[in-house]
């Protein structure tokens, strides 16, 4: 057992956050996304990022002209990584779609959990992130995938 999570569902907010630009990612963004993933999780997810580019679901957030987070898709099969909760909030705010299954949120991130509840997302059920083998304690804001 690694992390207590909740499944959250709700309607996409489709809102901008002042000072943050959220846009569809391009192939040149993959290197920065891999660096962010390595900073947070200690490994990269290059193939998942390439797949998200092909599916046109990879989205990045920029703050002060630098990529500070990304999401492959908001849903069980996607993952999201950001330097800060504010970067993550910008990604969630700008989302135009959330998979019907909802998305996973670590409950230890109480700031983000409370924000999501205030924005109208609702908890469907608690679940637990479990893993076998290597696991690095995340060092940043993230929404895990069912594939971790």
Distances (CA, A) of 62 to 19, 20, 24, 122: 9, 6, 11, 27
pLDDT digits (tens, 9 = 90+) for 54-75: 999 999 999 999 999 999 999 9
- State the average pLDDT for the chain: 94
What distance in Å separates the CA atoms of residue 21 and residue 91, rounded to the nearest whole number?
9
Give the per-residue pLDDT at 81: 96
- Per-residue pLDDT, averaged over 40-57, amounts to 93
Nearest of 95, 99, 67, 86 to residue 141 by alpha carbon = 86
pLDDT digits (tens, 9 = 90+) for 70-115: 999 999 999 999 999 999 999 999 999 999 999 999 999 999 999 9
In a domain, 10, yes or no: yes
How many separate domains does the chain show? 1
CATH of the domain at 63: 3.40.630.90
Q: Rounded to two decimals, what is the model's pTM? A: 0.94
Residue 148 has pLDDT above 80, yes or no: no
In a domain, 148, yes or no: no
In a domain, 107, yes or no: yes
Give the per-residue pLDDT at 115: 98
Sign of CA dihedral 39, 42, 114, 101: positive
**Residue 17 belongs to what domain range?**
3-143
Give the per-residue pLDDT at 82: 97
In a domain, 73, yes or no: yes
In a domain, 56, yes or no: yes
In a domain, 128, yes or no: yes
């Amino acid at each position: 057992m690694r992390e207590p999570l909740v499944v959250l569902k709700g309607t996409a907010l489709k809102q901008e956050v002042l000072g943050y630009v959220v846009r569809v990612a391009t192939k040149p963004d993959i290197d920065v996304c891999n660096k962010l993933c390595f900073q947070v999780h200690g490994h990269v997810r290059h193939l998942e990022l390439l797949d998200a580019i092909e599916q046109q679901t990879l989205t990045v957030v920029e703050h002060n002209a630098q990529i500070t987070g990304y999401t492959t898709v908001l849903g069980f099969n996607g993952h999201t990584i950001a330097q800060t909760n504010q970067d993550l909030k910008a990604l969630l705010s700008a989302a135009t779609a959330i998979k019907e299954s909802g998305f996973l949120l670590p409950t230890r991130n109480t700031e983000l959990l409370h924000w999501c509840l205030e924005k109208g997302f609702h908890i469907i059920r608690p679940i637990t992130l479990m893993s076998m083998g290597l696991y690095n304690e995340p060092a940043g804001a993230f929404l895990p995938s069912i594939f971790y």
